[in-house]
Amino acid sequence: MRIVQQLFFAISLFFPIASCFSCVHAAGLPLPVTDALKRSGIPLNAVGAYVQDVSGPVPRIAVNSMVGFNPASTMKLVTSNAALDLLGPAFTWKTQVYATGTQSGDVLNGDLVIKGSGDPKLVTEKFWQLLRQIRAAGIREIRGNLILDRSAFDGMSYDAAQFDGDPLKPYNVGPDALLLNYKVFAFHFLPDPARHLVDVSVDPPLAGYPITPPVLLDGACADWQAKSLPTLNRKGASFAGSFAAACGEKTWYLHPYQMSATEYFNVVFRQLWTDVGGVFKGEVNDGVLPSGARMLTEWQSPALPEVVRDINKYSNNVMARQLLLTLASDVLKLPATPERGGRVVKTWLAAKGIDTSQLVIENGSGLSRIERISAEALGRMLVAAFQSPVMPELMSALPLAGYDGTMRKRLLAQTVAGRAHIKTGSLNDVRAVAGYVLAASGKRYAVVCIINHINAPGGQAAHDALLQWVYENG
């Protein structure tokens, strides 16, 4: 079957393919779009498009719409819609804290256990509040160890360099049932020419985590990150390169990929526990919640719609990975894996009568070389979503053209600005848009257009032309 699908895709590169029966009367791409594609050197067989009135039975435009394309970040729409539908808009993640042993006054003679469920937004400020709740429960000193229960997600291996060879990038952080602060450090650089050095601080602040700053140099500020030469591990951070005084104050978000998730949790916990007046000299280890442990407190994440907005407005890959795994753990009641999450999504789409034969889900974020979906499947999903109870939550999560998110600087001078809720997608050879356009006629359209081609970076003009055309002619 896979060979047949690959052959089908290969053939499609040379022959425009007719779509499904329902697309018989659909038109091709309008002239402003095809002209823009020609100017960018993008052939029509590298484009999959689907446009349908959300209240109509058949598409207005269907081009290569049954072919599987790499959708880049527009895949986040699929993960988000499935989550809103299956988990519900009121869904929250729960991080629970338990104690073992006995308590004497404010001293715990046992272990503290933190059990995660995959909260994508357990940032430093929220974690500090959780630690305050533990202190309010009467615990100041922990004389045992800290046990981290990550069993909601299967213990899968993860290579942060696998996607693009740049493991320091925050978008390459792997999923974690106890993800803390996106497993990212924010380094702040402040040159001090009078002292001939660069002050470097880190957020969250960490006691006992030494930082070796780069050498301060004169000259222009060019490619300052590449010249800083960072190394981050559990022993500290080192910037072995240089930093130009002309750069001024800078902030750099980095993924300390050489630290395990447990090591990262360890250094952050120790500092914040001290900050709230706590005492802890034990070890931090992975484990599972022992029977007989008593619950001390619980932290609830923001509701799912807020998480979905972050995922789609700002194309947060780490949060999207967390969401796909949450679908697996919550729906299947099994330790989550990407394969299980993908199975949940495929079953959900198929139940809506949407063809999933071209659907390939690796991580649910679109940050992938192998994820695939057809323009028709994505378009029909958007049509179905518009008729569903979670339509308001999904639409409000999408960037508004000309106003916010990844669409804030696009279509500013066009009349479609403010009338299109559009998720964008971008990889080296991929450009994609998917979402809704409210046409001048008052009709609303689901719009999908995906380009897979070496010249795809020049495809934005074609996408913008399509959105404007739908607004004017829909």
pLDDT tens-digit readout, 270-292? 999 999 999 999 999 999 999 99
Confidence (pLDDT) at 9: 32
In angstroms, the CA 188 to CA 421 distance is: 35
Task: State how far the alpha carbon of 319 is from the alpha carbons of 74, 345, 385, in Å.
Answer: 14, 16, 21
Domain with CATH 3.40.710.10 in the chain: 2-90+304-473
Rounded Cα–Cα distance for residues 448 and 422 (Å): 9
CB 348 within 8 A of CB 86: yes
> Can you give the pLDDT at residue 12?
34
Cα separation, 191 vs 402, in Å, equals 36
Q: What class has domain 2-90+304-473?
A: alpha beta
CATH 3.50.80.20, the chain: domain bounds = 94-157+260-300
Own/partner pairs, 338-342, CB within 8 angstroms, 24+ separation: 338/156, 338/362, 338/363, 338/364
pLDDT of residue 305: 99
The rounded distance, in Å, linking the Cα atoms of 396 and 307 is 12
Residue 347: partners with Cβ closer than 8 Å, 6 or more residues away:
none
Rounded to an integer, what distance in angstroms lies between the CA atom of residue 393 and that of residue 342?
A: 22
CB atoms within 10 A of CB 240: 12
Residues of the chain with pLDDT under 50: 1-24
Residue type, 84: L
Question: CA angle at residue 112 from 109 to 113, to 5 degrees?
Answer: 145
User: 94-157+260-300 has which fold?
Assistant: D-tyrosyl-trna(Tyr) Deacylase; Chain: A; (3.50.80)
Taking the C-alpha atoms of residue 363 and residue 337, their distance in angstroms, rounded to an integer, is 9
Predicted local distance difference test score (pLDDT) of residue 25: 53
Residue 333's pLDDT is 97
Per the CB < 8 A criterion, the answer to whether 101 and 110 are in contact is yes
Q: What is the pLDDT of residue 155?
A: 82
Q: For position 24, what pLDDT does the model report?
A: 44
Position 1 scores a pLDDT of: 35
Residue in the structure block whose two tokens are 């493991």: 167
Task: Return the number of other C-beta atoms located less than 10 Å from residue 212's C-beta.
Answer: 12
Model pTM?
0.92
Nearest to 65 by CA among 34, 35, 20: 20
